[in-house]
Amino acid sequence: MSTASVASSARAPITHDSLPAWGPWAVVGGVLLAAVALGSATEVALGVLLLLGVVLSVGVVYVWSRAVEGSRRAKDRSVTIAVTASFLLAIAPLVSVLYTVLSRGLARFDAPFFTETARNVVGEGGGASHAIVGTLVITGVATLASVPIGIMAAIYLHEYGSGRLKKALTFFVDVMTGIPSIVAGLFAVALFVLFFGPGIRLGVMGAVALSVLMIPIVVRSTEEMLKIVPDGLREASYALGVPKWRTIVKVVLPTALAGIITGVMVAVARVIGETAPLLITTGVFSSMNSNPFDGRMSNLPVFAFNQYKFPGAIPEPYIDRAWAAALTLIVIVMTLSLAARLIYRRFGTDIR
């Protein structure tokens, strides 16, 4: 077989016709506009129409593109539209939640909300400063407890552990990642009841419950970060005659630090909004209490829950406070995530 014959007979030309750049967009836009129009004219739900519109435009673009450009590009274009649509579908709830929380939470997102407590407040006014402090203290204590335990457990699992013990521990960490949060709360209650008798409510009980939830997340994320520290760095350190524990402390941990911090932030964000375990461990309290070892302690999720669940005669101020508390939680989580990002940017290490 000669190359000439291949080129003249079988080879497709390397130039081809193509749809105009605006083509697919025009199809999608047109179909969706039609769907919106149809939705306002009839009783059919807009979401269903939009979904059908996406399916329809995928079909139209495929047929059109196939006629002009051939089947390979037609598939490419229709899959592009389908994937983009799926992405939009996935973030739609997120946008919706953010929008709702913002629009409804801003009503009471004012100075008194951050300075006053809910003590003796009936109807309008009052604030959630006690709950904010409570959330920060409880989460802070939980973090202080779970980060060292989690990181050291991860170091054990990745750097030292081997054989059955490691497998068993990994299994239990996985199981712990999946336990329902109420179980963690019940565990904390059961633990403290053992020592202090029934009816005990303490901030630190909430912290213990949250720790139970946090530790497996910290272990997992830290382990993942330790995994991506290249073995080459450990070997380089060993080859310099550095003992193992020093290698871990001085080389491995600093290299993984940014990632570990991010993991901790994720864990904090995961537990800071927990309601159920706090409801049964910290109790409901409307005054300022910043001592986790002294009686009941309020916090934002429980505060929001309570405001929503037990409104007064005029429910609006209560409902507004609940939304404002939800917004505050989101702001705290976002601030933490942002801080984590900044830390990563500032101290982050490129791990090859």
Partner 1 sequence: MSSAKSVEVSDLDLYYGSFHAVQNVNMTIQPNKVTALIGSSGCGKSTFLRSLNRMHELVHGARVEGSVILEGQDIYAPDVDPVAVRSQVGMVFQQPNPFPTMSIYENVAAGLRLNSRRMKKPAMDEIVERSLRGANLWEEVKNRLERAGSGLSGGQQQRLCIARAIAVEPEVLLMDEPCSALDPVATLAIEELIRELKVNYTIVIVTHNMQQASRASDITGFFNLEESGKPGRLVEIDETETIFSNPANKATEDYVTGRFG
**Under the rule (CB under 8 A), what is the footprint of partner 1?**
162, 230, 232-243, 246-247, 250-251, 254-255, 257, 349-352
CB of 248 to partner 1, least distance (A): 11
User: Shortest approach of partner 1 to residue 151 CB, angstroms?
Assistant: 17
Q: Which is nearer to partner 1, 164 or 352 (CB)?
A: 352
Least distance between partner 1 and beta carbon 239 (Å): 4
| Minimum gap (Å) between residue 154 Cβ and partner 1 | 18
Nearer to partner 1, 17 or 231 (CB): 231
What are residue 18's phi and psi, to 5 degrees?
Answer: -145, 160
Q: Give CA separation, 94 vs 91, 101, 108, 109, 202, in Å.
A: 5, 11, 22, 21, 34
Question: Closer CB to partner 1, residue 160 or residue 293?
Answer: 160
Give the shortest CB-253-to-partner 1 separation in angstroms: 9
Question: Based on CB atoms, which residue is closest to partner 1, 119 or 244?
Answer: 244
- Minimal distance in Å, beta carbon 257 to partner 1? 8
In the complex with partner 1, the residue whose CB is nearer, 116 or 159, is 159
Q: Which is nearer to partner 1, 90 or 240 (CB)?
A: 240
